[in-house]
Amino acid sequence: MKLERAATLDAWADLVTGLLVQRLQRTPTLRMCLPTGLTPVPIYDRLSAAVARRDASLEHATIFLLDEFGGVAPSDPGRCDNMLRRGLLDRLAVPPAQFHRFDLTGDVLQECAAYEAAVGDGCDITLLGIGSNGHIGMNEPGSSPDSATRRVSLAAATVTASARYFNREHDLPTWGVTMGVGTILRSREIWLLATGPGKAAIVGQTLRGAITPDVPASLLRSHGNTILFTDEAAAALA
């Protein structure tokens, strides 16, 4: 796992976005797995601006949503697909057929199997956040390195943290669906994103600790093309 660190949050977002624009310029049909949450917001803002300047286009790209909360209404603003649409896709010319998301209105196991098949040999590039317990996507501690797209139970800390997306402290989702660690590891490139002092401890553990399912992010060290992008605050213990 290669570490790329930037001095500030703005410099970090500029770095990641610049490299992503390069990938899109080189491969307009890029197959990308994208996360939601707060960490990628400045990247998506800059990517949207780059598309507006015609420095890049997602017109021919394919986007896979990394994960989704279960048991919430399709219109809930805290759903991952709604967050990604609001934060990026609605601002760009991404044809609906090229956005793969989870339909959880029917058989969840069947939907996960279909999603795994759609990912196939893997994405060209996968962007990931990292949870304070080392989760990637909704792959919580204990996730197998060969795990596939599946339904998962969320750790208590993940449930609590989700309140920021749903703007409520009650009736929060306790399960979700996620690309598995094995699914992620089929990607040709993996970018792990971390910012702020609250991520310093888990970044240090991910980089320097044991490679173990107890810290799912550490499993990415087995991949030959993983980059960890941090600002100085998140890299304090790296």
Report the amino acid identity of residue 59: E
Per-residue pLDDT at 121: 97
Q: What is the mean pLDDT of the chain?
A: 97
Residue-wise pLDDT tens digits, 142-177: 999 999 999 999 999 999 999 999 999 999 999 999
From the list 68, 140, 189, 231, the catalytic residue is 140
| Cα–Cα distances in angstroms (integers) from residue 216 to residues 16, 27, 129, 189, in the given order | 22, 29, 12, 17
From the list 68, 81, 135, 139, the catalytic residue is 135
167 is catalytic: no
CA 25 from centroid of its chain's CA atoms: 21
133 is catalytic: yes
pLDDT of 94 over the 90 cut: no
Residue-wise pLDDT tens digits, 43-76: 999 999 999 999 999 999 999 999 999 999 999 9
67 is catalytic: yes
| Cα–Cα distances in angstroms (integers) from residue 9 to residues 5, 40, 130, 141, 197, in the given order | 10, 11, 16, 27, 11
E strand or H helix that includes residue 175: strand 175-178
Domains and CATH numbers, the chain: 2-231 (3.40.50.1360)
Q: What share of the chain is helix, strand, coil (3-state, %, to 5)?
A: 40, 20, 45
Per-residue pLDDT at 72: 95
Report the amino acid identity of residue 200: A
pTM over 0.85: yes
60 is catalytic: no
Mean pLDDT of 116-132: 98
